[in-house]
Every structure is written in structure tokens, then in C-alpha cells.
A and B are shown apart, each in its own frame.
Chain A
Amino acid sequence: AQTVTQSQPEMSVQEAETVTLSCTYDTSESDYYLFWYKQPPSRQMILVIRQEAYKQQNATENRFSVNFQKAAKSFSLKISDSQLGDAAMYFCAYRSVLSNFGNEKLTFGTGTRLTIIP
């Protein structure tokens, strides 16, 4: 079974600075998807960024980018120019490529609470 580990329960960053959130995972599969979701105080889960394991290029979405190290099974999220609206819980999640029964689920880490300091 796959596992996802987020070792930083809490992080803080000064507004306009850059912060990196860590995520490691364990899997025996060679192809899979990785996601970062944001959960603000409203508790709505919002997709931030997605990475396909077969792609070597790191995904980027505006101020959000990932550092995907497949051999190390590491998937960190970098937030540049941090804004007050970035304050939230951030969850790393894994999904198998296989879509048959039993592989539909997202496996989540325990989350990192990010605080933005004005």
C-alpha cells in the first residue's frame, strides 16, 4: 500500500517570501500522480498543482511549483511571493495511474499548516 508523509505539521513564512513544503511517499509503482491540495479555513479542498510521475519536468502553476525527485520519492511544493491568501492547510496526495477498482483513491498525507506573517 502507498503511504504519504508530510513531516512538517506547521510552517510559517513572511509575506512576499518563498517557502517550501515537504512531502515524501512510498510506492512500488513506477507510474502515478501526485497532487498538492490547499484547504483554507473554509475547509474547501482546492487543487493547487498536479505532477505525473512519467514526466521529468517539474509542474508549475503561477507562484506554485514542485520539486519532484522520483528516485528519492520526494515531492515538495514551493510557494513564491507568499500572500496572505496562501494561509491554509496543504495536503500532499498520491494516486495510482491504474483506474481499476481498488486504485481509485487518493492517499493523503497528514497536512502542513502554513501561516503567512504580514
Chain B
Amino acid sequence: DGGITQSPKYLFRKEGQNVTLSCEQNLNHDAMYWYRQDPGQGLRLIYYSQIVNDFQKGDIAEGYSVSREKKESFPLTVTSAQKNPTAFYLCATRRGQGTTYEQYFGPGTRLTVT
């Protein structure tokens, strides 16, 4: 089946540890995005990538890092520098460079840091 896979669905980490969230897609979409969702707030953009080996910071990139070595994969690392890492993280993709194309979302990963 074509789609976006985020694993795991729930992730628990101790404070001070880095953690990497996985996002894989087999839609052959060019652009990929990471959003963060907190209670009572809308989604906020962390990083996005339009092509392999290139990515751009979003609104809240501090404390996060990404890589885009393959078209299919866009992992997000939450570093110990992120002050409030507990949140729901959503990965999204968009087809091509056309401005009409909407973003499609994965199922998300709930990260809890204690």
C-alpha cells in the first residue's frame, strides 16, 4: 500500500537523551515536512525538505535536526537541547513542485520525555 509510515506510534525517553523519529514514504513525493502538535495549539512546522540532501528550518527548529539522504526517508532527531520535547509529531509529504498540491500526513508519533 502507498502511504506514509511513522514509527513507533509511542516513544518514551529519559531527559537528556537524543531520540530519532522515523518517517518513511512510498508515494514518490518530493517534499517532506515535520510538524509538532501541542494541546490547544495548531501544528507548527519544524523542518521541511523539497529535495534529497536539502532541507530548511521551519518556525520551531531549535533543538531538532533532520537529514534527507533518500527521497523516501526524512528522520527527525529530537536533541537534548529541545526544552519541551514531549509532544505529538507529524510527518507530511507533498507531491512535486506544483503549488496546487496539498500535504498528506502520516499517523504521527507521540513522544514522552520524563
Contacts and interface: CB of A to CB of B under 8 A. Distances in A.
Interface of A: 4, 33, 35, 37, 42-47, 50, 52, 91, 93, 97-99, 101-102, 104-111
B88 A99 contact: no
Given A52-B100, A105-B58, A108-B43, A44 B105 contact: yes
B100 A91 contact: no
Contact of A108 (B42, B99, B102, B108): B42
Interface of B: 31, 33, 40-45, 48, 50, 56, 58-59, 88, 90, 92, 97-100, 102-108
A107 to B, nearest CB: 8
A106 B45 contact: yes
Closest 5 A/B residue pairs (Cβ): A108-B42, A45-B105, A105-B45, A108-B43, A99-B99
A35 B42 CA distance: 13
A44 B58 contact: no
A110 B56 CA distance: 24
B97 A106 contact: no
Max chain B C-beta neighbours (<10 A), residue from A33, A45, A91, A109: A45
A102 to B, nearest CB: 8
Given A44-B107, A99-B97, A109-B42, A104 B50 contact: yes
Contacts of B33: 104-105
Given A50-B102, A101-B56, A111-B42, 8 more contacts: A35-B102, A43-B88, A47-B103, A52-B100, A91-B43, A104-B48, A104-B56, A108-B43
18 contacts: A33-B99, A33-B102, A42-B107, A43-B88, A44-B105, A44-B108, A45-B43, A52-B100, A91-B42, A97-B99, A99-B97, A104-B31, A104-B48, A106-B45, A106-B103, A107-B42, A108-B42, A109-B42
Contacts of B88: 43
